[in-house]
Amino acid sequence: MIRPRRLRKNIAIRDMVRETQLDSADFIYPIFIEEGENIKKEISSMPGIYRYSLDRIDEELQEVAELGIPSLMLFGIPKQKDAEGSSSWQDEGIVQQGIKHIKQAQPSLYLIADVCFCEYTDHGHCGVMVNGDVDNDLTLTNLEKQSISLANAGADMLAPSGMMDGMIASMRDALDLNGHSTLPIMSYAVKYASSFYGPFRDAADSAPAFGDRHTYQMDPANRMEALREADLDVEEGADILMVKPALSYLDIIRDLKERYSLPLATYNVSGEYAMLKAAAAKGWIDGEKMMMEQLTSMKRAGADLILTYHAKEAAKLLLRKSGS
Ligand code: PBG
């Protein structure tokens, strides 16, 4: 008789035949930097995740580096917002300052800057509004300015999340023409219009003041369109593709993994984190086990890199497991 259970008999053999291994080197930890002083404010729907001003951030940076998490995704919360989000491309903007600060405080950390406008616009949409909708091509012009400014500040990688058509091509051109031809772009290539972003919008003060993001982010029902979006970004020169959110879109992660040879990232978003934390706080689930199971499922589906608010906790568990 064929008995698959033979290879599940004890922990040694289970470890030996395990197909998917999580590794802290694959984690990217999102971090919220707020303009101002003396800020360390927990986000109510994301326990354990804080907004920091730069004068209070060093301890967090040190912890991330010591845990072996190689990279941060930076989000900024500016003091000033306006219709176009112009504080996002100021050389003294909050993320620009943040990059310079972190490069001094923890030079080993690889800094990926989110490139978008929703945290910087007074209406909370991801670009320039014309007649009640985000104007694609006007937004591209601003995206170029923001990209050059973040690159000049010393970002190691840029990650545009606004789902504008042609965003990768226009950023690539702008970077190449301004001395940044070696700077990679990780595209939020397949980003769905998802209700799982709710807690992030509290975290980053970026909820749209009116309407929604359905004219630029993708319909959660669509799969073929995800391939078309990714095809375009590959053609336009993206270096890494991302699928976002992660858990309800594991099929899309698998589709992209099979179709492209580029590294693939997925974003385990705020709502996914909040659900797990809420259920764990009630004692309804085992939060640590469920976290590791979810992260493993993302990797098994095909994600090479995982952006996750769980990065520190998961890295701690992995260190404990390896006995170091
Ligand atoms: C847009 C952006 C969003 C997230 C990352 N980048 C929010 C949105 O599109 O509304 C969401 C991340 C999360 O939910 O954790 N700059």
Per-residue pLDDT tens digits for 75-87 = 999 999 999 999 9
pLDDT at 322: 83
Q: How far is CA 172 from CA 88, 128, 152, 177, in A?
A: 18, 20, 14, 9
Q: Is the pLDDT of residue 72 over 90?
A: yes
Give 262-280 pLDDT, tens digit per residue: 999 999 999 999 999 999 9
Nearest to 270 by CA among 202, 183, 184: 202
Average pLDDT of span 164-188: 98
79 carries an active-site annotation? no
Pocket residue to mutate for ligand 1, from 200, 248, 269, 310, most atoms within 8 A of Cβ: 200
- Please pick, among 9, 100, 244, 312, the residue that the annotation labels catalytic: 244
pLDDT at 205: 85
The rounded distance, in Å, linking the Cα atoms of 259 and 296 is: 21
- Name, in order, each residue with C-beta under 8 angstroms of 188's C-beta and a sequence gap of 6 or more: 159, 160, 161, 162, 163, 242, 244, 267
Nearest residue by C-alpha to atom 10 in ligand 1: 197
Say if 107 falls within a structural domain: yes
Say if 3 falls within a structural domain: no
pLDDT at 93: 98
Q: Is 302 exposed, middle or buried (0-12, 13-18, 19+ CB in 10 A)?
A: middle
Q: Is the pLDDT of residue 235 over 80?
A: yes
Question: Helix 311-321 vs helix 58-66: angle between axes, to the nearest 10 degrees?
Answer: 40
Say if 12 falls within a structural domain: no
Q: How many CA atoms lie within 13 A of 23 on its CB side?
A: 10
> Is there an atom of ligand 1 within 6 Å of 308 CB?
no
Nearest residue by C-alpha to atom 5 in ligand 1: 161
Nearest residue by C-alpha to atom 11 in ligand 1: 197
Stated pTM of the model = 0.97
Q: Which domain holds residue 91?
A: 17-322
Q: Is the pLDDT of residue 250 over 80?
A: yes
Please give the structure tokens belonging to residue 278: 């809420």
Say if 11 falls within a structural domain: no
Residue 191's domain is classified under what CATH number? Answer: 3.20.20.70
pLDDT at 294: 98
Pocket residue to mutate for ligand 1, from 112, 119, 194, 197, most atoms within 8 A of Cβ: 197
- Please pick, among 81, 191, 257, 299, the residue that the annotation labels catalytic: 191
| Residues 173-192 as b or e (16 or more Cβ within 10 Å = b) | ebbeeeebeebbbbbbbbbb
Q: How far is the CA of 13 from the centre of ligand 1 (A)?
A: 41
Average pLDDT of span 188-210: 93
pLDDT at 324: 60
Say if 198 falls within a structural domain: yes
Averaged pLDDT score across all residues of the chain? 97
Q: How far is the CA of 15 from the centre of ligand 1 (A)?
A: 36
Q: Are 233 and 256 in contact (CB under 8 A)?
A: no
> Is there an atom of ligand 1 within 6 Å of 161 CB?
yes
Say if 250 falls within a structural domain: yes
Q: How far is the CA of 320 from the centre of ligand 1 (A)?
A: 31
> Strands, E, within the chain: which ranges?
27-34, 40-43, 46-52, 71-77, 110-115, 128-130, 133-135, 157-160, 186-191, 240-244, 264-268, 305-308
> Is there an atom of ligand 1 within 6 Å of 269 CB?
yes
Q: How far is the CA of 114 from the centre of ligand 1 (A)?
A: 9
> Is there an atom of ligand 1 within 6 Å of 197 CB?
yes
> Is there an atom of ligand 1 within 6 Å of 272 CB?
no
191 carries an active-site annotation? yes
Pocket residue to mutate for ligand 1, from 95, 206, 213, most atoms within 8 A of Cβ: 206
pLDDT at 321: 86
Q: How far is the CA of 162 from the centre of ligand 1 (A)?
A: 9
State the total domains in the chain.
1
Confidence band, pLDDT 50/70/90 cuts, at residue 323: confident
pLDDT at 125: 93
Say if 36 falls within a structural domain: yes
Say if 6 falls within a structural domain: no
